[in-house]
Amino acid sequence: MMDNQSGWRRLWQKPGAKWRLGIPVGALLLFVVGALGTVGFNVVIHETSSDEFCVSCHGPSKFAAEEWPEHTHYNTASGVKVTCADCHVAKEFLPKMWRKVRAMKEVYYQTLGTYNTREKFEAHREAMAESVWAEMKETDSRECRSCHKVELMDFAQQKRAAASMHQRMEQMGRTCIDCHKYLAHNKPGQTPAEQGE
């Protein structure tokens, strides 16, 4: 058994030759594992935000995806194709992770078969839409604003009523989703043509 004095002395001595090699190898190994973990995590987050994944795991997405190509957020004048994640998943890390956690309830409903037929989906469409709109209202239409910046809009290029609303929306306590609810999904019982899109 070593005495306390020799134990303390060893702590302050230079490491032996075998330790000198172990420290860089350990650090390199830690770096490689950390890098692989980071890349793997980002790949998983990216893949679980793809349209294909959304449609495969979230029952309502399947039926919403069928109607989406008929709407303006699919066929845009500028050629930009908006994805499920563009509107339903935040870009910032913490809100994105929170959305991923909350999405688990949708997987639960998928497992139960709550929305597994068109009839069930249509029966719940309004409640699901109201829930999404409430979330968007709560975040001041954060996902909309990641692409659409009111401060950069050219109001002269907009219809007079739209320009007026966009210029006053903050003072009126309004946000994007208050006026733009059916850009990517049908109203209950209507097609985009019947909605006047």
Output the pLDDT for position 194: 66
Share of the chain above pLDDT 70, in %: 83
Q: Is this prediction's pTM over 0.95?
A: no
The predicted-structure confidence for 20-68, as pLDDT tens digits, reads as follows: 556 677 788 899 999 999 999 999 999 988 888 888 766 667 788 888 8
| Diameter of the chain measured on Cα atoms | 89
The predicted-structure confidence for 115-153, as pLDDT tens digits, reads as follows: 888 888 888 889 988 999 999 999 999 999 998 999 999
Q: Highest-confidence range of 60-64, 71-75, 81-85, by mean pLDDT?
A: 81-85
Residue carrying the six token digits 């991923």: 100
- Cα gap 36→33, rounded to integer Å: 5
- Cα gap 70→73, rounded to integer Å: 9
Better pLDDT: 161 or 6:
161
How far the first Cα of the chain sits from its last, in Å, is 85
Interior CA angle at 145 toward 140 and 146, to 5°?
A: 130
- Burial of 186 by CB count in 10 Å (0-12 exposed, 13-18 middle, 19+ buried)? buried
